[in-house]
Amino acid sequence: MKNLMVISGLALVMSISSCTVTYPGQATSNKIEKTGEASKTIFLGLAFGHTDLGIEKAAKAAKITKIATMDYSVTVGLFTTKYKLIISGE
């Protein structure tokens, strides 16, 4: 019974925990006035639908014409993985 409670507790902790890693991308001397992002969440390793994580999509989301920085973020959970491209600029 005690082992079952320990295993259940560990399963609960693992299911609500996640890890996020952000990778810095390119940088220019343009001003940072706006931030846009493109993201996609994948369940159980399966991507459904159109997966567009491009710079153009993230820039259009915030109406950015001159890109200053680009960052890439990955958040991994037990059942989901979220990929996010973050663009900032004018």
The reported pLDDT for the residue numbered 8 is: 79
At 28, is the secondary structure helix, strand, or coil?
coil
Separation CA 2–CA 14 (nearest Å):
19
By DSSP bridging, strand 34-43 and strand 19-27 are: unpaired
CB atoms within 10 A of CB 52: 11
- The pTM score is 0.70
Q: Where are the domains of the chain?
A: 18-89
Per-residue pLDDT for 54 more than 80? Answer: yes
pLDDT digit string, tens, across residues 11-47: 776 666 667 777 787 778 888 888 998 888 888 877 7
CB 62 within 8 A of CB 33: no
Mean pLDDT of 39-62: 82
Token readout for 21 is 């890693």
Mean pLDDT of 52-72: 86
The reported pLDDT for the residue numbered 31 is: 85
